[in-house]
Amino acid sequence: MVFPHFRMNHDEIKAALLASYDSLGGINHLDGVNLPSQESVNTLARDCMHLLFPGYFEDSALEKSKVPAHVDGLLKRIERRLRADVEKCLRFSKAPDASARAEAVAAQTLGQFPELRRIIQTDVAAAYAGDPAAGSVEEIILAYPCVLALSLQRVAHVLYHLKVPLLPRMLTEYGHERTGADIHPGARIGTHFFIDHCTGVVIGETATLGNHVKLYQGVTLGAKSFEVDEAGNPVKGVKRHPDIEDHVTIYPGATVLGGTTVIGRDSVIGSHVWLMKSVPAGSIVYYQGELTSVVREQRDKARGQKTVTISIDQADWMI
């Protein structure tokens, strides 16, 4: 696009902007309810990380004797901010009794933090076990981007299921901005989840991941297509993203698409594979070149099964 080469003074710029606010709807929010500010949500995200990982992100060492007071202060601060931001989101969606519901949502969300810590501990353990370069658990928590992205997604997932609009996506976007991993708050993720390197990973809203799943950078768990209504608008609330069962590893750059696609447990998806059909448990799928995928059933040592190799033309595989 070529812009005209002329200069406008301050008053002319102001007048042009005000005119655009009148003429270009959809990107103005004027005379509407107050929305959560990005800075408020970012502060909420940081406070949640402090509550989940006490002693890791403080400016000074946290003594055990001071933990009760530390947690008490964090809980009060998070509850105030959470109630205020949730209420703004509920008023935006015209929910009835927004203030009372926001109070209940804040209490329910904070009540999940002990269980969230239990699950997140398994993610940290999976990262340490899954990366030989990791020197310590402390290094994982302080320096591995998957910890931030996944911890905030798990908090946002609680808010998502409490049907809070806006705020869950704003929380996960803070993690996305910081890490490059875009995990929708609606995605259902099991325990012991690890994203190695993290950057460029996309996990869609209706994806489900089992326990002990490992992804590498650049993996997409996305939608193959989406339904539209008579007006051509996307139909909301339908299953669009794949299901990944337990103990699956997906290597860099792989793309798995579709709401009916299931990756069976104990499977391995190789780098740069483009997959839009289900594969059975114990499969290896890899890019062989010449637009061919190969699916190979792994040997089951416990049952003594033999290895079977099946070559499948990619064009047929993607129908």
**pLDDT, tens digit (0-9, with 9 covering 90-100), for 220-265:** 999 987 777 777 787 788 999 999 999 999 999 999 999 999 999 9
Cα(176)–Cα(77) distance, rounded to whole angstroms? 24
Query: Which of helix, strand or coil describes residue 43?
Result: helix
Q: pLDDT band for position 3 (50/70/90)?
A: low
Q: pLDDT band for position 307 (50/70/90)?
A: very low
pLDDT at 317: 42
pLDDT at 286: 87
Options 2.60.120.460, 1.10.3130.10, 2.60.40.1730, 2.60.40.10; CATH of 33-179: 1.10.3130.10
Ranges of each domain in the chain = 33-179, 200-319
Q: Which residue has the higher pLDDT, 41 or 291?
A: 41
Q: pLDDT band for position 298 (50/70/90)?
A: low
Cα(1)–Cα(223) distance, rounded to whole angstroms? 31
Q: pLDDT band for position 26 (50/70/90)?
A: confident
Q: How many CB atoms lie within 10 A of CB 121?
A: 14
If you average pLDDT over every residue of the chain, what do you get? 90
Fold of 200-319: UDP N-Acetylglucosamine Acyltransferase; domain 1 (2.160.10)
Cα(90)–Cα(26) distance, rounded to whole angstroms? 20
Query: Which of helix, strand or coil describes residue 223?
Result: coil
Q: Tell me the average pLDDT across 198-206.
A: 97
Query: Interhelix angle for 167-179 vs 67-92, to 10°?
Result: 120
Report residue 287: phi and psi, to 5°. -85, 120
Q: pLDDT tens digits, residue range 169-193?
A: 999 999 999 999 999 999 999 999 9
Q: pLDDT tens digits, residue range 70-116?
A: 999 999 999 999 999 999 999 999 999 999 999 999 999 999 999 99
pLDDT at 200: 97
